[in-house]
Amino acid sequence: MELLLATRSIHKVREIREILSATSGLKVLDLDEIGLKWHDEEEALEPFHTFEENAHSKAEYFHAKTGLPTVADDSGLEVDALGGAPGVRSKRFAPVEGLSGDILDQANNDYLVEQLGSLELEKRTAQYVCVAVVLGLTDQMIVARGQAKGLILAEPCGNGGFGYDPYFFEPNLEMTFAELHPDQKNKLSHRGKAFRTLEGILAEMEI
């Protein structure tokens, strides 16, 4: 079974491939691998207010472009003290334009820390959320969701991961997601939970 991964993020590609590596007979393709070049239309694929709608939008776009069974995820950070923000705006939380990659991650993290100000740690509760959507394997949309709870630190810790990981503190392990070994992170993370759920759904389908 071939499954196209609808993301331009090399970090997501690596993580999702690792999570799905145990799925027998599944080959995960990425957009560069099939030679699908970036198009400006992709900037407008996440206009919705829920993770599921945005994931569906991306899966639908790339499935229509390629004809391949396609999985897309939308994920983000919900901070309780900020009313659930940044949520679906996690990738573009900071009020800046023209940034990408690690520089954009840093701008988003700086803005998050600024918004939380001097709020004490126990009130910095948050959750990472991931929703994965598959189109093209059956007539029905397949949906899987994962969530991971934590606290937002005022200072970064760790050099691994990406996005908000250096600030996302896992209280039970007393480590941030950026300090975890990739195998640990994939076990605990929102994306790991969502894609393992998806893995189970695919295994039951026996396509």
Furthest-apart CA atoms within the chain: distance in Å: 52
Query: How many whole angstroms separate alpha carbon 18 and alpha carbon 29?
Result: 13
Q: Point out the catalytic residue in the list 30, 74, 105, 165.
A: 74
Q: How many CB atoms lie within 10 A of CB 193?
A: 20
Scored b (16 or more CB within 10 A) or e, 130-163 reads bbbbbbbbeeeebbbbbebbbbbbeebebeebbb
Question: Is 40 part of the annotated catalytic residue set?
Answer: no
d(Cα 95, Cα 73) in Å, to the nearest integer? 24
Q: Which amino acid is residue 167, in one-letter code?
A: Y
Separation of alpha carbons 71 and 134, rounded Å: 4
Residue 151 — left, alpha, or beta (φ > 0 → left; ψ -120 to 50 → alpha)?
A: beta
Catalytically active residues are 74
